[in-house]
């Protein structure tokens, strides 16, 4: 059993996080003063839970990333492990589902900058890499199973190809540089579509964001020759 003192401490930490999220949603940022005022807490008391505002912000972002990665894994495992293309599309759909359900958290690590905070800390960067690893590994497995066909017309300039080679080595991929390039394109499409949807840029022109997302992603995967066992993803 967790000691009562530890339970009370965790409850206070959770309350601080909740208020910080609310302030980010309404004001785009938060301050320690605003948090302590809402909680009836003194600043010295706050610092017994978090050393600084930046530490709290980092805590929020790391928690968001962990939640995001968990959602990717859950979505990936909805499909059978033998149908890798279906796992790819399920994972990308899970990416969108999580972002739509957690727009503020998505914005914190995927685009929206919070005033006075630099998100490029080593801990955040290292944690963010886990999500890319999950996604790149799926495409790499598809390549190993000869499920992907590269467009014959795709030729990469040497300097860019070297960048893709370096990225492949970083993630331990067997994929050729051309495929890594296509995966980056697909992930940029995913991120861009989600960002546009969350910013309401589609409304009222596009009323079925889910349908648009599915078709765009399937089209991108089709460009790689990536199909499910039945020949179609949907």
Residue 204: cis peptide before it, omega within 30 degrees of 0:
yes
Total domain count, the chain = 2
Lowest mean pLDDT among 122-131, 174-183, 224-233: 224-233
- What pLDDT, on a 0 to 100 scale, did the predictor assign at position 229? 54
Residue 169 is part of a domain; what is its CATH number?
1.10.357.10
Judge if 72 and 167 occupy the same domain: yes
15-69 per-position pLDDT tens digit: 999 999 899 888 878 899 999 999 999 999 999 999 999 899 888 888 889 999 9
Judge if 2 and 67 occupy the same domain: no
Cβ contact 168:177 at 8 Å: yes
Report if residue 232 sits inside a domain.
Answer: no
Report if residue 57 sits inside a domain.
Answer: no
Report if residue 111 sits inside a domain.
Answer: yes
Q: What are the two backbone dihedrals, phi and then psi, of residue 130, each rounded to the nearest 5 degrees?
A: -60, -40
- What pLDDT, on a 0 to 100 scale, did the predictor assign at position 56? 92
Report if residue 191 sits inside a domain.
Answer: yes
Judge if 46 and 73 occupy the same domain: no
At 228, is the pLDDT very low, low, confident or very high (cuts 50, 70, 90)?
Answer: low
What residues make up the domain containing 185?
62-222
The predicted model gives 122-128 an average pLDDT of 83
Residue 18 is part of a domain; what is its CATH number?
1.10.10
Report if residue 161 sits inside a domain.
Answer: yes
Report if residue 176 sits inside a domain.
Answer: yes
């Amino acid at each position: 059993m967790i000691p009562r003192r530890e339970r009370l401490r965790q409850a206070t930490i959770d309350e601080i996080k909740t208020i910080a999220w609310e302030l980010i949603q309404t004001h785009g940022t938060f301050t320690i003063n605003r948090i302590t005022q809402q909680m009836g807490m003194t600043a010295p008391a706050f610092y017994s839970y978090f050393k600084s505002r930046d530490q709290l912000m980092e805590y929020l972002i790391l928690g968001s990333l962990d939640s995001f990665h968990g959602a990717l894994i859950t979505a990936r495992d909805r499909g059978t492990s033998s149908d890798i293309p279906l796992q790819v599309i399920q994972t990308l759909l899970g990416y969108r589902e999580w972002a739509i359900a957690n727009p503020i958290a998505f914005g914190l690590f995927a685009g929206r900058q919070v005033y006075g905070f630099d998100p490029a800390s080593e801990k955040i960067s290292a944690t963010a890499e886990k999500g890319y690893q999950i996604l790149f590994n799926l495409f790499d497995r598809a390549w190993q199973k000869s499920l992907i066909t590269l467009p014959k017309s795709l030729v990469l300039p040497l300097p860019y190809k070297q960048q893709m080679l370096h990225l492949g080595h970083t993630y331990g991929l067997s994929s050729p540089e051309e495929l890594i390039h296509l995966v980056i394109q697909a992930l940029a499409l995913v991120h861009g579509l989600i960002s546009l949807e969350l910013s309401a840029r589609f409304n009222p022109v596009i009323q079925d964001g889910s349908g648009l997302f599915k078709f765009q992603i399937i089209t991108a995967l089709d460009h790689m020759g990536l199909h499910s066992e039945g020949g179609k993803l949907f």
